[in-house]
Chain A
Amino acid sequence: GQSLEQPSEVTAVEGAIVQINCTYQTSGFYGLSWYQQHDGGAPTFLSYNALDGLEETGRFSSFLSRSDSYGYLLLQELQMKDSASYFCAVREAGDDKIIFGKGTRLHILP
């Protein structure tokens, strides 16, 4: 089976930087994804890491260390609209499906 751990809630200040960590346990591993979900909405894809290292997309970056079974999502220059839930998700090698973590609710203070 597989399991993912991420903090349930994180609070940060507008304009600051926040890092959301994710550790995972899988029997095989294909890649780690991050999704954003606003209340009442559907998840939207943010990033994907299959290899070790940092992937940057605008204000968002995602990091993966396969040897540590660990990744993180880094959000810079936080804006109020970034208040949402963020899910890490893994796709296991040889499997079609993606399994989501429990999600981290990001609260942003003005």
Chain B
Amino acid sequence: GAVVSQHPSWVICKSGTSVKIECRSLDFQATTMFWYRQFPKQSLMLMATSNEGSKATYEQGVEKDKFLINHASLTLSTLTVTSAHPEDSSFYICSARGSRTTYEQYFGPGTRLTVT
């Protein structure tokens, strides 16, 4: 149980376009979802925390107008990278936590974004 999917697994887009990444909890309801960004050989940097039906809480230094997060249901959160630039190229990973656990996060497989 506790499977989280992400779509797409990889995407290449041109500079200036927007890209939407979906994160779904497949077999549980995720009250909270998290979005991380990871550069090669570096740690996961938390970008934002989203709770279903409310606005996301962004970490310091993360532009909320550039990284739009929507958590419309208990099983779906989306991250939209708007007006993407090459420096936005990274590995984006979501995780979800259900109400039945207090500590464990279940991670999606990640989305590799390349902006050309």
Chain A residues with Cβ under 8 A from B67's Cβ? none
Interface of A is mostly: strand
Is A45 a contact of B46 with CB atoms below 8 Å? no
Q: Does the CB pair A42–B103 fall under 8 Å? A: no
Indicate whether A42 sits within 8 Å of B93 (C-beta atoms), given known contacts A33-B103, A96-B32: yes
Residue with the highest number of chain A CB atoms closer than 10 Å, among B32, B103, B107: B103
Size class of the B contact interface (CB-based, 8 Å): 10 to 19
Give the contacts of A79-110 with B (CB-CB under 8 A): 87, 91, 96-103, 105
Chain A residues with CB under 8 Å of B41's CB are: 105
- Asked whether A31 lies within 8 Å of B34 as measured between CB atoms, the reply is no
Q: Are B46 and A99 in contact (CB under 8 A)?
A: yes
The answer to whether A97 and B107 touch across the interface, beta carbons within 8 angstroms, is no
Chain A residues within 8 Å of B106, by CB? 45
Cβ contact within 8 Å between A42 and B110: yes
Q: When chains A and B are docked, how far (Å) is the Cα of A45 from the Cα of B3? A: 12
A48 at the interface (CB under 8 A from B): yes
A48-B103, A96-B49 are known contacts. Are A102 and B42 too (CB-CB below 8 A)? yes
Enumerate chain A interface residues (CB-CB to B < 8 A): 30-31, 33, 35, 41-45, 48, 50, 87, 91, 96-103, 105
